[in-house]
Chain A
Amino acid sequence: MPDVTIECRDLSKAFDGVHAVEDVSVEFEAGKITALIGPNGAGKTTLFHLMGGSLAPDSGEVLLRGRRISGLPSWETARLGVGRLFQDVRVFGRLTVLENVLVGFRNQAGESFWKAVVARLAVARQDRDLAAIAQHWIDFVGLRGFEETPARALSYGQQKLLALARLLAQGADVLLLDEPTAGVNPAMVKPLLALLRDLAKDGKTIILIEHNMSVVIDIADWVYFMDEGQIVAFGLPHEVLGDKWVREAYLGL
């Protein structure tokens, strides 16, 4: 039985008459890596916004383990287990690398203003514990030594790695990754893909928007091809990438 964690049913969203997403029905399974590919403007990022709660659909729904989440604000969707890596990265520019990752953790007692003052010793202890875990993720993504650097001083690729470390701290089990390898130095791509495979093995649901076909062929278990707001093809990577339409319209072959 496929373990579908998140799915969209007949999802539609239009902006000023332009159908960004049109009657999209897709399913994503736990323990699998699914790639969402297609030309620019196909609606892939819009679909992620709809799934993540930054946008509400005009019609249709998004279900997380059977529960309707479309229309919920993004902070609620995030608390229910959906994590996002944005195409334009979105790190907290004036915070340090370490602070960025620390913000990611859930259920921090110290984020309550009351506890921050009244229970400051317990809060300090929790923060120290979290800092150790944060350091682990910072080391993992290859940003060791940059802990005290303000995030805005990092390069685009480094910021992407930081956003990934922050996402790992969040511990979400559905990961919406918008072009995770774009801008990342080639030496880092292999460990990054290995990490994604490990996360999938751990049971996480990984959904990638990707333009890099070698990445798609390397790790995707399933592919959806999207064009002009609609799902036009789907299947195993080699099936979709071998499809005539896809090859002409998208791959330029």
Chain B
Amino acid sequence: MNYLWHIVNMAGIYAILAMSLNLAAGYTGLLSLCHAAFYGLGAYTATLVMVDVGFDFLPALACALIVTALLSLMIALPSLRLRGDYFVLATLGFQIIVFSVLYNWVGLTRGPYGISGIPVPKFFGLEVDSVAKYALFTAVVGGLGLGVLWLLAHSPFGRLLRAVRDDELAAAALGKNVTHVKTIAFVLSACFAAIPGALFAGYMRYIDPTSFTLTESIFIISMVVIGGAGNFAGPAIGAVLLVLLPEALRFLHVPDSVAANLRQVVYGILLILLMRFRPQGLIGEYDFE
């Protein structure tokens, strides 16, 4: 039973992460290769604030949001004026830098040793100390975040993001400050990625840099692409699918040693098939032309 709750937790965390990327990539057309970096910045900031400073979970989450917002702004300001492909490369650069810092600044992050002993999150005095309780906790915190994301996506702001994605020149000709819009979309997307980072830290009670690599960024992109970009629920479906996939392989009695690699092969095949036959994903609106 605990195992099922574990899957629910991971699916929930990844669903929020995928939907955060969707705001930048699916709605605004900004393909980010550094969302694992924002996920990691959220996890590490929340962790360091809880472990070294002694804050509770919610204030730690607030700090994670602020730090991630500031750092994402730092990458956005110089990069968003770059043409599409170059912007993607800039995010790749940022992902590599963040991982490098997490791995090598041992004094701050404990480097490859990771940080253990993350306190059990307290939610208004109640300790979230079981896997089942954490699922509820993720649902509440995640639900609130997704509620805000939903309001944004279904507002004139969301409509403006999609217009900028479809034709920047036309949007500018209508008086919209396109660079400003893209910057806000990117920073918001980064903040929404920091939330599952903090949730992950509070759940695993141990974090290390290997959870926040470029491979992880690509995994998040896969969820968005498979589930469907530019559609609100699509990435969540993609997240659930990709979290359940290894479990399905286990069910088919594939030995663990093979399963790990087979999983990568299956992702690759799925992506190729989708790009060929259904580029907008399962229920998506945008097909990354």
Contact residues of A with B, CB < 8 Å? 52, 54, 73-75, 78-79, 83-84, 86, 90-95, 99-100, 102-104, 106, 108-113, 116-117, 120, 123, 127, 166, 170
Contacts and interface: CB of A to CB of B under 8 A. Distances in A.
A111 B157 contact: yes
Interface stretch (B14-22, B93-101, B159-167, B205-213): B159-167
B107 interface: no
Nearest to B160: A111
B148 interface: yes
Nearest to B289: A93
B286 A94 contact: yes
Interface string B131-174: 00000000000000000100110011111101101110111111
Contact of B156 (A74, A83, A84, A116): A116
Given A103-B160, A110-B156, A74 B173 contact: yes
Nearest to A81: B175
B167 to A, nearest CB: 5
Interface stretch (B5-13, B122-130, B176-184, B235-243): B176-184
Given A102-B156, A111-B160, A94 B230 contact: yes
A74 B177 CA distance: 9
Nearest to B151: A117
Contact of B157 (A95, A106, A113): A113
A120 B151 contact: yes
Contact of B175 (A54, A78, A99): A78
A49 B251 CA distance: 61
Consensus secondary structure, chain B interface: helix
Nearest to B162: A95
**10 A-B pairs with least C-beta separation:** A110-B156, A116-B155, A78-B175, A90-B170, A92-B166, A116-B157, A79-B175, A75-B172, A74-B172, A103-B163
Nearest to B175: A78
A102 B176 CA distance: 13
B30 interface: no
Scoring B158, B188, B286 by chain A CB atoms within 10 A of each residue's CB, the highest score goes to B158
B56 interface: no
Interface of B: 148, 151-152, 155-160, 162-163, 165-167, 169-178, 184, 188, 230, 285-286
B148 A117 contact: yes
B174 A95 contact: no
A54 B169 contact: yes
Contacts of A104: 174
A170 B174 CA distance: 7
A97 B281 CA distance: 23
Nearest to A74: B172
A94 B162 contact: yes
Contacts of A123: 155-156
Contacts of B166: 92-95
A91 B157 CA distance: 18
Contacts of A86: 169-170, 173
A93 B230 CA distance: 13
Nearest to A82: B173
Contacts of A79: 175
Nearest to B176: A75
Contacts of B178: 75
A52 B169 CA distance: 11
Contacts of A91: 167, 170
A15 B207 CA distance: 55
Contacts of B174: 78, 103-104, 166, 170
Nearest to A107: B175
A78 B173 contact: yes
Nearest to B147: A117
A84 B172 CA distance: 10
Given A99-B159, A116-B157, 13 more contacts: A74-B173, A78-B174, A78-B175, A92-B163, A92-B166, A99-B163, A102-B156, A103-B160, A103-B174, A111-B157, A117-B152, A170-B174, A170-B175
A76 B43 CA distance: 40
Contacts of A170: 174-175
A102 B173 contact: no
Contacts of B163: 92, 95, 99-100, 103
Given A94-B166, A94-B286, A117-B148, A108 B156 contact: yes
Given A75-B177, A120-B155, A123-B156, A90 B169 contact: yes
14 contacts: A75-B171, A75-B178, A78-B174, A83-B173, A93-B166, A94-B162, A100-B163, A103-B174, A104-B174, A111-B157, A113-B184, A116-B156, A120-B151, A123-B156
